[in-house]
Amino acid sequence: MSEERETRLFMISPDSMLTPDQLVRMVHAMGMEATVKETCYGCLVEGPSKLVREILAAVREKYPYEVFSKVRAYPCGDPRRCRAQHGTRPGFAQLEAEWAALPLIEHGLKCSDEGKKYKAHEEEKQLPLDDFKKICEASR
Amino acid sequence: MTIKIAQLSCGTEYSSVQYEIDKAARSVGAKVVYPDVSFEDINEAVKRFGFNPRSPQLKLMIARAIKLADKKYDADAVFITSCFRCAEAALVRNELRRFIQENTNLPVVTYSFTERLKAAQLLTRMEALVTIVTKKDLLARERQTGLTAGLDSGSSTTKAVIMQNNKIIGKDWTSTGDVVKSAQQVLENAMKEAGVEFKQIEALGTTGYGRFNLGKFYNAKLVQEELTVNSKGAVWLADRQRGEATILDIGGMDNKAITVRNGVPDNFTMGGICAGASGRFLEMTAKRLKIEIEELGKLADKGDWRNAKMNSYCSVFGIQDLVTGLGEGKSFEDVAAAACHSVAEQVYEQQLQEIDVRHPIIQVGGTSLISGLVKAVGEVLGERPIVPPNSQYIGAVGGALLSSGLL
Amino acid sequence: MKVFIDPPNSMILYDLVERFGHEPLSAMAAIQNKIDNIEVDMPPMNVTLDDVIRGLKYAGVEVPSGIRGRLAMWGPLIEQADAAVIMIDAPFSFGCVGCERSNEMVKYLIKRRGIPTVTVYYPKNEEEAETVVGQVKEFLEGLK
CA–CA separation, B123 vs B127, rounded Å?
6
**Among the partner residues C42, C53, C62, nearest to B85 by beta-carbon distance:** C62
Write the pLDDT tens digit of every residue in A62-76.
Answer: 999 999 999 998 888
Q: Which residue of C has its CA nearest to B58?
A: C98
CB B232 within 8 A of CB B207: no
Pairing of strands B264-271, B203-208: unpaired
User: Nearest CB to B86: which of C52, C64, C91?
Assistant: C64
Residue of B20, B31, B36, B73 to mutate, testing the A interface (most A Cβ within 10 Å of its Cβ): B36
In chain A, residues with a C-beta closer than 8 Å to the C-beta of C28 are: 70-73
pLDDT digits (tens, 9 = 90+) for B298-315: 999 999 999 888 877 777
pLDDT bracket for residue C93 (50, 70, 90) = low
Q: What is the DSSP string of B358-380?
A: -SSEEEESGGGG-HHHHHHHHHH
CB contact under 8 A, B36 and A100: no
Q: Does A93 touch chain C (CB under 8 A)?
A: yes
In 10 A of CB B241, how many CB atoms?
A: 16
Interatomic CA distance for residues B190 and B129, integer angstroms: 32
* Other residues' Cβ atoms within 10 Å of the Cβ of residue A1: 16
Interatomic CA distance for residues B387 and B374, integer angstroms: 8
Contact C32 A71 (CB under 8 A): yes
Comparing CB atoms, the residue among A7, A11, A80 nearest residue C11 is: A11
Nearest-angstrom CA–CA distance, B359 and B41: 35
Q: Where are the alpha helices (DSSP H) in chain C?
A: 11-19, 27-36, 49-54, 65-80, 100-113, 126-142
Cβ-contact B158, B174 below 8 angstroms: yes
| Nearest by CB: C66 against B43, B53, B83 | B83
Query: For position C41, what pLDDT does the model report?
Result: 47
pLDDT of residue B122: 85
Which band of pLDDT confidence, cut at 50, 70 and 90, is reported for residue C40?
A: very low
Judged by phi (left if over 0) then psi (alpha if -120 to 50, else beta), residue B172 lies in beta
* N residues, chain C: 144
pLDDT (average), residues B199-228: 94
Interchain CB distance below 8 Å, B38 and A96: yes
Residues of A in contact with B35 (CB under 8 A): 87
Q: Which of A71, A78, A108 sits opposite C28 (nearest CB)?
A: A71
- Write down the pLDDT at residue A18: 96
pTM of the model: 0.83
Mean pLDDT computed over every residue of chain A: 90
Residue B384 predicted with pLDDT over 60: yes
pLDDT tens, residue by residue, B74-133: 999 999 999 988 999 999 998 998 899 889 988 888 888 988 887 877 888 888 889 889
Within 8 A by CB and 6+ apart from B266, the residues are B97, B101, B107, B108, B109, B110, B259, B260
- Please name every residue paired with B42 in a beta bridge, in sequence order, or none if there are none: none
Interface touch A90/B38, C-beta < 8 Å: no
Residue A16 has pLDDT above 90, yes or no: yes
Banded model confidence at residue C44, pLDDT cuts 50, 70, 90 = low
B39 touches chain C (CB under 8 A): yes
C63/B12 Cβ within 8 A: no
Neighbours of chain C (3+ CB pairs under 8 A): A, B
Share of chain B above pLDDT 90, in %: 59
Specify the pLDDT at position A1.
43
For the segment C43-53, the average pLDDT, to the nearest whole number, is: 79
Handedness of CA B327, B329, B330, B335 (dihedral sign): positive
Task: Give phi and psi for B179, each to the nearest 5.
Answer: -55, -50
B144 reaches C (C-beta below 8 A) = no
- Which band of pLDDT confidence, cut at 50, 70 and 90, is reported for residue B272? low
Question: Beta strands B147-153 and B203-208: pairing type?
Answer: parallel
User: In Å, how far is B46's CA from the nearest CA of chain C?
Assistant: 13
The Cα C14–Cα B396 span in angstroms is: 61
Alpha-carbon span C16 to C4, nearest angstrom = 12
B52 CB near a chain C CB, below 8 Å? no
The minimal CB distance from A88 to the residues B31, B32, B36 is found for B36
> In a 3-state reduction of DSSP, which class is residue B271?
strand
Q: Is residue A79 within 8 Å of B22, Cβ to Cβ? A: no
Out of A136-140, B278-282, B357-361, C109-113, least confident range: B278-282
**Residue in C with minimal Cα distance to A107:** C126
- What per-residue confidence (pLDDT) applies to B34? 93
